[in-house]
Amino acid sequence: MKKFEIPSFYRSSIISRIKQYRKLTDTKKNDLKPFVLDFGTVMFFIPRHFGFCYGVENAIEIAYKTIESNSNKNIYLLSEMIHNPGVNNDLKDRGIRFILDTLGNNLIDWTEIKKDDIVIIPAFGTTLEIEAKLKEIGISAYQYNTTCPFVEKVWNRSSQLADAGYTIVIHGKHLHEETRATFSHSKIHGPSLIVRDLRETKFLSKVISEEKSKSEFYSFFSGKYSENFNADKDLEKIGVVNQTTMLATETQEIADLLKSTMINKYGKELLKFHFADTRDTLCYATYDNQEATYELLKNSADFAVVVGGYNSSNTSHIVELCEAKLPTYFVSSAEKVISRKLIKHYNILSKAEILTEDYIPNKDKVKILITSGASCPDSVVDEILTKLHSFFPNIQSIQELLNEKLKL
């Protein structure tokens, strides 16, 4: 796999060593057991896979190289490069301005953008409508395009489904930049519909089974289906793709439900004419990170710390997996880990930061799971790991223990 040139301040002195060791000792990625740092009074469990993925490193490399080679030009990012506040703030500090917010609302009027300016397309990709707008200005959407190749893979799969006469059902968050882009690309090829989760899919299943009316369909899925969508005929043949950062298990449940719905309506012998048995379009990093999280959670621990941007889809799903098993603290930076007694963390249900006291239990041996999302720099995990380690006095240094454990 290509090695990207990303700024050294995103690398780490702890996590990078652990990842390199795991890469050398487990070349086929078969061993999903976490790496353990045991300091006696505290143990840290670090999963096999987490942190920057291919698409994120590709986007960061392009963005920073663009800044370095275009100091005399106005440089814009269409929207957030990735869902990580540290990365986005650093790009802003270097003079990059964001045209849109994460919901697609303008932060800068399009009339301010000139044809000699540079506009970087973020890793999520963008809509065909915005590509056309850039073209009107005289800017190519492809010159500084950091769209993740796994997102483009979903677009290609959607096109194939439509060419075969299937309606495209997209498992995703309809306001997310990636899903908006995928929907824009898929709807030009054929009827398209976005479902958020299994609950919405169950409603769709009832529409297909005629337990719900077509008018109920249009009301329930308002804003989530393509123009001129015909619920009478466009739900006769369907295929499922997904936003690349969704939970793999949920996508499979959605596909299985729709498949069984088609079997019940048309019979197993005619299934292939009504349901495209697509392979999951989740990206490899999201899948690997989720599988590593499941393995991580097999270990008994007192709590988990998940690091990443609060609007990061793939990180929020890791939080959901951890919260189902043990107390979990979703933090964006080391400053949120205030002290041994106090932590500020994000609640994904209330969508707000909250303070929790006495999150580290008073016991002889504390066990902590620590992981991060695909858009989180390893350096931030380093900082949080180091800070947590500092709350336990008179123990071995992290580097000393690493030197002992990483002998090949």
Is there a contact between 320 and 347 (Cβ–Cβ < 8 Å)?
no
SS3 352: strand
Q: Which two tokens stand for residue 144?
A: 């500084």
Q: Which two tokens stand for residue 373?
A: 């999302």
Q: Which two tokens stand for residue 178?
A: 């990636």
Give the C-alpha distances (Å, rounded to integers) separating 273 from 72, 259, 270. Answer: 57, 11, 6
Residue 288 dihedral angles phi and psi, to the nearest 5°: -60, -45
Residue 321: name the closest of 353, 291, 276 by CA.
Answer: 291
Other residues' Cβ atoms within 10 Å of the Cβ of residue 259: 17
Q: Which two tokens stand for residue 94?
A: 């270097």
SS3 61: helix
End-to-end CA distance of the chain: 23
Of 178, 216, 295, 353, catalytic: 178
Query: What is the per-residue DSSP string for 67-100?
Result: HHH-TTS-EEESS-SSS-HHHHHHHHHTT-EESB
Name the helix (H) or strand (E) containing 354: strand 352-357
DSSP-H helix ranges across 108-247: 128-137, 149-163, 177-187, 198-208, 214-220
Distance CA 391, CA 389 (A): 5
User: Which value, in Å, is the radius of gyration of the alpha carbons in the chain?
Assistant: 23
Is there a contact between 313 and 176 (Cβ–Cβ < 8 Å)?
yes
Active-site residue flag, 178: yes
Q: How many residues does the chain have?
A: 408
Angle between helices 149-163 and 54-69 (to 10 degrees): 120
Give the type of residue at 7: P
SS3 367: strand
Q: What is the DSSP letter of 4?
A: P
| Residue 27 burial by Cβ neighbours in a 10 Å radius (0-12, 13-18, 19+) | exposed
Write out the catalytic residue numbers.
178
